[in-house]
Amino acid sequence: MKEQLEKIKAEALAQIELADALEKLNDIRVAYLGKKGQLTSVLKSMKDVAPEDRPKVGQMVNEARELIEAKLEETKNTLARKAREEQMKNEVIDVTLPSRKANIGHSHPNMIAQKEVERIFVGMGYEVVEGPEVEYDEYNFEKLNIPANHPAKDEQDTFYINKEIVLRTQTSPVQARVMEQGKLPIRMIAPGRVFRSDEVDATHSPSFHQIEGLVIDKHITFADLKGTLAEFAKELFGEDTKVNFRPHHFPFTEPSAEVDVSCFKCGGKGCRFCKGSGWIEILGCGMVHPHVLEMCGIDPEAYTGFAFGVGLERIALLKYEIDDMRLLYENDIRFLRQF
């Protein structure tokens, strides 16, 4: 029994010594220490050993097992270390290679134009505020002097959620919301998304963006409105830009005007860009109607103000010379990267 054990031990150790891969070590473990392994079978034949010799043989088997296990462990570590060293040698990392770039997007022309408009007005002391896209009919129409059955309501052919709630058709309701808060004076712009049931074409979309402006204070006159928008146009389109005010009608302003800027392409001589007229229409504006002030809790005897509304897409299309509005909504990164 003793010789048999010695033989098993010697063989096992010799085989471990020769093993050159981790999988081989495992095979050896199974062959000697596994359920059907050689050492295990010695233990199984213990019944043939004389009872008084059993403790001694048992001890010898255990010692052999421990020795084999220790050798297996040691060899496993050595092999693992060697494998790692080999891997390090082969895997050369070139730290001078350029890193893989994260695929980031690009600011949308609308957003670039909006930031530009915000920068100009914030520079003049305006605050940027927001209003809800889902709005009460009352704010979108009533408080802006557009009662039920007013033709202006037809023009804006609206998305209604129910009788009282609409997707706002203009950013003008933010005027009413800000005035109602009662903090005077007011100098604000309100950019945001608006909705109208328009067919999609090169200049229309059922969802687009506007920027509303509102100033309320004592002694505000039409001259302030003209000066402000003239300055805005210069900042946005260039120092030589002129503005032209044409009388118009909006229910919530009186008097009202539409504003054209001199064509920044031809300087006013007339070209394809301005359709030969030398002028490009950019916004609507006017003096806030006294009745609107009253409905929003402001005394029209003490305060006056002006308002204006500009289409953000219109500005983006003009400023970046984009000829089809649909391009703004496709969000093709190759298109966006140009701006």
Q: How many CB atoms lie within 10 A of CB 80?
A: 11
Q: Rule CB under 6 A: say whether 309 interacts with ligand DAH.
A: yes
Residues present in the chain in total: 339
Q: Compute the least distance from the CB of residue 214 to ligand DAH, in Å.
A: 7
User: Per residue, what are the HEC states of 289-325?
Assistant: CHHHHHHCCCCCCCCEEEEEEEEHHHHHHHHCCCCCC
By beta-carbon proximity to ligand DAH, the closer residue of 208 and 237 is 208
- Among 38, 114, 170, 241, indicate the residue that binds ligand DAH (CB under 6 A): 170
Residue 237, SS3?
A: helix
Q: Compute the least distance from the CB of residue 294 to ligand DAH, in Å.
A: 17
Q: Compute the least distance from the CB of residue 302 to ligand DAH, in Å.
A: 21
Q: Rule CB under 6 A: say whether 110 interacts with ligand DAH.
A: no
Q: Rule CB under 6 A: say whether 250 interacts with ligand DAH.
A: yes
Binding part of the chain for ligand DAH, among 4-12, 35-43, 185-193, 307-315 by CB under 6 A, reads 307-315
Amino acid 316 reads A
Q: How many CB atoms lie within 10 A of CB 202?
A: 12
Closest of 227, 241, 221 to residue 315, by C-alpha: 241
Whether the CB-CB separation of 224 and 306 falls below 8 Å is answered with yes
Residue nearest to ligand DAH (CB): 309
Q: Rule CB under 6 A: say whether 312 interacts with ligand DAH.
A: no
Q: Compute the least distance from the CB of residue 253 to ligand DAH, in Å.
A: 4
Q: Rule CB under 6 A: say whether 284 interacts with ligand DAH.
A: yes
Dihedrals phi, psi of 305, to nearest 5 degrees: -170, 170
Q: Which residues bind ligand DAH (CB under 6 A)?
A: 170, 172, 212, 250, 253, 284-286, 307-309
